[in-house]
Each structure stands twice: as structure tokens, then as C-alpha cells.
Amino acid sequence: MSGDPTRDLVRELASDLTPVKPLPRLRFVALAVLLAWLAIAALSIVIKGLAPTFFTTLAQPLSAGGIFACLLLGGLGGALGALALAIPGRERLARGGLALCAAGGGLAVAIGLAIALRGEPGAWRLPSAGDLRCLLIALFAGIVPALALAWFGGRAAPFRPLGVALVAAAGAAALGGAVAQATCAGAAPMHLLHGHALAPALGALVLVLPLLVAIRASERRQSS
């Protein structure tokens, strides 16, 4: 005891402090997430091959190529939004990423609906086994980027972990959906809608809880 209560209190509080590892730069984490997705996409292409009409449909907005572009756009926006949402002071970047994610996912569904409306009358149906298979491929292809986003979210100890998990889930599933779209030869209108365009919405529902748990686990490891 020094006889100065204030100094003693400060010393006592400081004695419990532990050093905190600095966060990696956002641009480096974003690049790592992108590289992880590219590795998954390359592996999927090696295993399954590109869809025969992939390059020809890229120039047709209201086609499978349009769904691919929108899913890719939404996935990149979701990943960027989740990263920025975890860091105080990056609200503007977070809003931009969220807007890009919502726009990409919404446009993918809109294009899927437009393609389905152009299909044969009576073609509307519930999701089939083939649709669910492509959705599962989208979820699996998005797992690695999703876990990278969750790891960074936990390191940043975000104030809104549920929001980070939700945006990360939608963005990662959209990236996975782009992989599924690029490697799937199916061109049936309802398959494009059910099996591909709805991947971000399904991912937001299925992956949000596991990613929230992963964020909390990463946060506990960082504080221990």
C-alpha cells in the first residue's frame, strides 16, 4: 500500500490486465476469405467440371449466368458486411456490404422467378431431391469462408454477434451457391430457383446458429 487510495486502486485494476493480440487488418482477412472461396471453387470445378453452358450464359442476365453473378455479388457483399460489422467505426462499410448482400440475393431470386415464369405452364413444383442436393453443395462450399468469418468475428468481440453470424451465413451460402451454379448442368427453371437462387436465404437459416456458436467460441479463446 502506498497510502494513496487512487494509486492503489489503479495498481490493483492494472494487475488483472492481460495483453490482447491486435486484430489482423480487415483487408487481409477479406483477402483470406476470398482465397478460401477460390480454393473451394477450384476444387469443385476439378471434381465436377464447369457447367457446359456456363460461359455462354454469363452474357445473358436473365439466365443461369445472371443468377451466378448475383450470388457472387451477394456473397462478396455479405462477407465484407460481416467483417465490417464486427469492427466499431466501420459502420459505413458494413452498410455497403449489407446492401450488396441484400441486392445480390434479392436479384438472384428475382431472376429465378423470372426464369420460372417463362417456363412451361404447370411447371411450378416443390423442391425436389436434385434441388436439395445443389443447396447442400452450396452450404458445404460456403463452410470454409463462413468459419473464417466467424473466427474473425470472435477475435473482434462484436457488439452484435447475432447480426455478424446472420450476415456471414447469408454471404457464405451465396458464395457457395455461386459454386453450385457454376458446376451444375441443370437448366430446369424451377431447379435454378429452388436449387441455386434460394441458397442465401437457406444459408441464413441453417448456418446462423452454428456460426453464432463459432463466434462465441472464438471470442472465449481470444479472452482466455
pLDDT 10s digits, 152-163: 888 776 678 888
- CA neighbours closer than 13 Å in the CB half-sphere of residue 11: 8
Residue 7 lies in a domain: no
* Distance set, CA 42 to CA 21, 135, 161, 177, 203 (Å): 33, 18, 31, 14, 21
Residue 2 lies in a domain: no
* Distance set, CA 127 to CA 23, 63, 124, 176, 196 (Å): 42, 19, 10, 18, 11
Residue 97 lies in a domain: yes
For residue 158, the enclosing domain spans 24-223
pLDDT 10s digits, 86-128: 887 888 999 999 999 999 999 999 999 998 888 765 667 777 8
Residue 102 lies in a domain: yes
Total domains, the chain? 1
pTM of the shown model: 0.85
Residue 19 lies in a domain: no
Residue 40 lies in a domain: yes
Residue 15 lies in a domain: no
